[in-house]
Chains A and B, each alone.
Chain A
Amino acid sequence: MTDRAVASGTGREVGRSRLRKEDARLVTGQTTWTDNIQVAGLLHLAVLRSPMAHARVTRVDVAPALERPGVLAAFSGADLAEGLGSLPCAWPVTEDIVLPDHPPIAVEEVRYAGDPVAVVVARDRYAAADALEAIDVDYEPLPPVLDLEEALAEGAPLVHSDKGTNRCYTWPLATGESFAAVRERAEVTVRRRYHQQRLIPNAMEPRAVVVTPLAASGEYTVYSATQIPHILRIMLATVTGIPEHKLRVVAPDVGGGFGSKLQVYGEEVLALAVARRLGRPVKWTESRSEGCLATHHGRGMIQDIEVAATREGRLLGLKVDLLADMGAYLMLVTPGIPILGAFMYPAIYKMDSYEFNCTGVFTTRTPTDAYRGAGRPEATFAIERIMDELAAELDLDPVELRRRNWIRHEEFPYTTIAGLTYDSGDYEAATAKALALFDYDGLRAEQRERAGRGDPVRLGIGVSTFTEMCGLAPSRVLRDLRYGAGGWEAASIRMLPTGKVEVVTGTSPHGQGHETCWSQIAADVLGVPFEDVEVLHGDTRSSPQGMDTYGSRSLAVGGEAVHRAATTVVDKARKVAAHLLEASEQDLEFREGVFSVKGSPEARRSIQEIAFEAFTNHDLPDGVEPSINAEHVVDPENFSFPHGTHLCAVEVDTETGLTRIRSYVCVDDVGHVVNPMIVEGQVHGGLAQGIAQALYEEAVYDDEGNLVSGSMAEYLVPSAADLPEFVTDRTETPASSNALGVKGVGEAGTIASTPAVVNAVVDALRPLGVHDVRMPCTPERVWRAVREATA
């Protein structure tokens, strides 16, 4: 399937649905989840959190907690403030961004329900949890700030009173003709407001951290359930003042993240600070309820979107105004999330004008940050929703409207109005395949028939022709966006003397299956058995260089680094082989892991033999180092642009408001595929999460700013029982930005599915006069929408 990837090897692995080599330990739990780590003398940390959204902390008395059995120490924010800096924000998106101080533990003021105010350290976690109740805190209530528009009004109460405003930043982008001009000549305009509800990421494994200090040498090992051990190491050094070379950060096996573990959390800093203070190892593990409150949330935006078009349905321009809920503080990449979306609103469509404006707003709620898709699902939702509205306005089939506007396959590479250059894609092919699998015409006929006979259960059909940008990211683009780091990725390959292979990657898998895929790539290039490859990751000692895992970047950037490092190993081995076989390099063939001389196949050396030769260094060519190991750092030239066509049919019971997904078809183009089964799994999980936003999940706050959906009894994560059978298929248009031709698949399903589902719900109800249902489209909301429209 990936001819370039396998050019030097055997080609047996890439493209094959290998069972994941990491699964035996992951699914049985017989592995080092952070919470499984036991160390002699381990102490347990528990965190007391603000029960109020906004208050001045006038007194924290931890003394009574010290009286409790098993308690060794307790600290207030003030006790720990010295020596701790602010939690970092690495993406100050504008020069004049308001960047508030973010202490890892509140000192004078709490700004969201869940903000830490004190910690207890005890011999076991039961004692620690019990002792929290003994801590006395006096709060002087301050007004909560919850509504994004009211927060910006004159005289609104302030989240950060020292900053004088709740406006965090305003980030504009305008390209092409002015929108006012195209609106002037447009025959049709459609304007809508969409709400991106807040979502709680809910990774299967809660956050956890263990810190073990080596007092004598001033070294610390931090084990954390994180997506970003490398970035965390740098940031922990910055926040705590512990020199970077004295910090080792390990992400052991990590059970999911969805972006929520792309973060530098207060608890990581607190565990390190307490371990430093006490000289004892410390563990903290989040409860699910704590996770709802204090792990960052996703989404949280109000989107005003307007399109201008001709009567024939040609898009002229697009205008987007966002209010983005930052929450109480700016965390690692909080302000940048909506900006990642800024480039995606024009999606796959051609147009003459694009104006985008985003205002970040502080509220007294849990900070927001990356959540599966991070800015791109929001953008895709808004454009795909309004495309359906425009189609309705023009009385056009929504698929036909898209066809009239999308970039045709012969137009690639295509620079969009937002300034991205899409290198490849074939929207026609993916859409044609999806329509056929879905039986689009048949379902449309049934829809008309049911509406015609007044069936209270309406059929609705939703489409989403999405694209996204992933493979984050060209470092110079990140510089231009004021992001604080680069977007490269590192890999190295160690050829062990016995012929086995270690692949060291800078990516940090937390469920994705990198060990399997990287083994497949390396096995093919090196011509060694899949089983002979071990992938090392997530430990800054064994994998010293990396940019970690998020943004569907790992394969397109990190996999590419593995591929290049492996290619270099073969090149180095070729020199040694030529010497040993007394032939010129040009006369050597390399096939299935064996060098042979063209025309004399009996003269052979396997790459494993070369590895041993390099180890002994008994007979290497002069001037050649005794190693065929290689490392590579790849900085991508461009993003990659997966795309696809998703079609959803729903049955909406207009009497109860219940939506049932009847069928779901998606055809994704993620470029070449290393492991089809893993791609399939990513698509399924992604669909589940995108459908969850459309129908089920919402972080709900009351008027005081308390999180009402603070447990999984109220925050409804759908299970397999709630989801339909997915029909998935693919087209393969290779990416040109990496030699593997891969694009990334971690977020595609989530990005594409939310608008497909909501479009279907609205499509079912449109004949009744319903033009929108706010997400999640709960039965009650659907019922009310129908009632209002038919009243």
Chain B
Amino acid sequence: MIPPAFEYARPETVEEAVRLLGEAGEEAKVLAGGQSLLPLLRLRLAFPELVVDVGRIPGLRGVREDGGTLVIGALTTHHDVIHDPLVRRHAGLLAEATATVADPAVRHRGTLGGSLAHADPAGDLAAIVLALDGELVAAGPGGRRTVPAREFFVDYLQTSLSPDELLVEVRLPKADGWGFAYEKFHRVAQSWAIVGVAALVRREDGHIAEARVGLTNMGATPLRAAAAEAALAGADGPDAVARAARSAAEGTRPGRDASAAPDYRTHLARVLTERAVLTAAGMG
């Protein structure tokens, strides 16, 4: 459990971090809360030449409002996300899901930005940001750019960040008035989700006007259950939700690992989608 040798840098500004990342190219790794990177280093699954510790850069922590958008600094810890009044008011789904991440020690160190940039499809938060139609702000040598969450997660542990870009902000449209639920299915409290389903539901006149469903660990990236979302529009009760939830795994390619086979994941996605939507819609 001893990491391979690496160089270590602790920039004071975003610009300095971006410069260091640019110089090292593919050989650098960003260290935020360290809850994903350090285990990878210790298990010798990652061999960066340079670790850029962005943890001391000011201004990347905390939550603010920007009109109809909630802006969360990339270095905001899970613990701070869970307890932030703005997050609780405008993005309750994120607070609820973040509370299921690992254990208190991890939640006090791990960061929202770090979790998203790590892009583990078994991580809980990517599907949440996806379901919330969030955007991610990356700082690079040419300034900042904003990437929709749908375009951010590219493949297993891969994002659309280029090696010289640093994730600095997460922007979430306020989901005021939306019901929400996160159904995380895992075997022990500290283990990753076998499957997780995030549901956001807007109701009108007793039926579901609009639903968004994010899937954790149903493929190489976090996914939206597009077919189920379409089928849910107009659903007027539990039976309709159950019918719609049957399409929750459409278009997904869940993997096989020590915790589950693909057909079981597919089954879980349907069951959990039904449950999450019913809860979010207040129909449960």
Contact = CB atoms under 8 A, between A and B. Distances in A.
Interface string A745-758: 00000000000000
Contacts of A655: 271
Contacts of A713: 39, 191-192
B267 A783 contact: yes
Interface stretch (A123-131, A296-304, A524-532): A123-131
Given A656-B271, A696-B187, A716-B188, A125 B2 contact: yes
Interface residues of A, number: 28
Interface string A390-417: 0000000000000000000000000000
A23 B242 CA distance: 54
B1 A287 contact: yes
Interface string A707-736: 011010110111101100000000000000
Contacts of A288: 1
A779 interface: yes
A175 interface: no
B9 interface: no
B120 to A, nearest CB: 11
B268 A700 contact: no
A617 interface: no
A138 interface: no
Interface string A446-480: 00000000000000000000000000000000000
The contact size tier of chain B is 20 to 34
B46 to A, nearest CB: 15
B4 A718 contact: no
Interface in B153-200: 185, 187-192, 194
B267 A696 contact: no
Contacts of A783: 264, 267
Residue of A700, A714, A717, A779 contacting most chain B CB atoms (<10 Å):
A779
Contacts of B272: 656
Contacts of B189: 719, 721-722
Given A721-B189, A779-B185, A130 B4 contact: yes
B101 to A, nearest CB: 13
Contact of A780 (B1, B103, B264): B264
Interface in A678-714: 696, 700, 708-709, 711, 713-714
Interface in B260-280: 260-261, 264, 267-268, 271-272
B187 A716 contact: yes
Nearest to B39: A713
B191 A658 contact: no
A239 B179 CA distance: 68
Contacts of A656: 185, 268, 271-272
Contact of A708 (B2, B103, B190, B258): B258
Contacts of A718: 188
B190 A719 contact: yes
Interface string B1-23: 11011000000000000000000
Given A288-B1, A656-B268, A783-B264, A778 B258 contact: no
Contacts of A709: 258
A616 interface: no
Contacts of B259: 714, 778, 780
A172 B264 CA distance: 42
Contact of A289 (B1, B5, B261, B267): B1
Closest 10 CB pairs of A and B: A721-B189, A287-B1, A129-B2, A714-B258, A780-B264, A722-B188, A716-B188, A655-B271, A718-B188, A708-B258
Given A126-B2, A656-B268, 9 more contacts: A126-B5, A129-B2, A130-B4, A711-B43, A716-B191, A718-B188, A721-B190, A783-B267, A784-B264
23 contacts: A125-B2, A126-B2, A126-B5, A130-B5, A287-B1, A289-B43, A656-B272, A696-B187, A700-B258, A709-B258, A713-B191, A716-B188, A716-B191, A719-B188, A721-B188, A721-B190, A722-B188, A722-B189, A779-B187, A779-B194, A780-B264, A783-B264, A783-B267
